[in-house]
Amino acid sequence: MSRLAFAVLAMLFLGFGAAAQEVLPRDPGIEATIGGQFDAFRRGDVPGAWAYASPGIQRLFGTEDRFAEMVENGYPMVWSPGDVRFIDLQTLGGVIVQRVEVIDGAGARHVLGYAMVETEDGWRIDAVQILRAPDVGV
């Protein structure tokens, strides 16, 4: 993926730390969209995973192959996920963000923020940011 594409995705999340937030109730449609994309990646179904991307993401990457390359290289825990758990749904600066915990094949824990947009075809993934997982005391 180009540096420009990474920069555009990163810009979607600028200011989240300082943005006003509101915790929302769970949304089965959002969870089904994200879960469906994880399932597609588990099956190696790139066209299926691509279908869950927002129109903006599809325009940004242009092809399923470029999208797949970006996910495989930038988000290996999404490309080949282990266990997935939905943490909470929030609005951050007007953006709806679903936080998700993913355990990768090596057992490492990752927390991701999924920016979601509602389209006439339902919820779609508009960006993903790797968040810092909270430290766990032993």
- b/e string for 8-43 if b means 16 or more Cβ within 10 A? ebeebbeebeeeeeeeeeebeebbebbebbbbbbee
Q: How confident is the model at residue 135 (pLDDT cuts 50, 70, 90)?
A: low
- Distance CA(68)–CA(88), nearest Å, equals 26
- Distance CA(136)–CA(96), nearest Å, equals 26
CATH 1.10.287 is right for the domain spanning 3-131: no
Query: pLDDT of 65-94, one tens digit each?
Result: 999 999 999 999 999 999 999 999 999 989
Please, what's the largest Cα pairwise distance for the chain?
46
Query: pLDDT of 14-73, one tens digit each?
Result: 444 445 689 999 999 999 999 999 999 999 999 999 999 999 999 999 999 999 999 999
pLDDT of residue 132: 83
Amino acid letter, 12: L
Q: How confident is the model at residue 5 (pLDDT cuts 50, 70, 90)?
A: very low
Amino acid letter, 30: I
State yes or no: pLDDT of 137 exceeds 80. no
Average pLDDT over every residue of 111-138: 88
E strands, the chain, in order: 21-24, 81-92, 95-104, 109-119, 122-131
- Whether 111 and 85 have beta carbons less than 8 Å apart is answered as no
Q: How confident is the model at residue 133 (pLDDT cuts 50, 70, 90)?
A: low
Domain map of the chain by residue range? 3-131
State yes or no: pLDDT of 3 exceeds 50. no
pLDDT of residue 134: 64
State yes or no: pLDDT of 7 exceeds 90. no
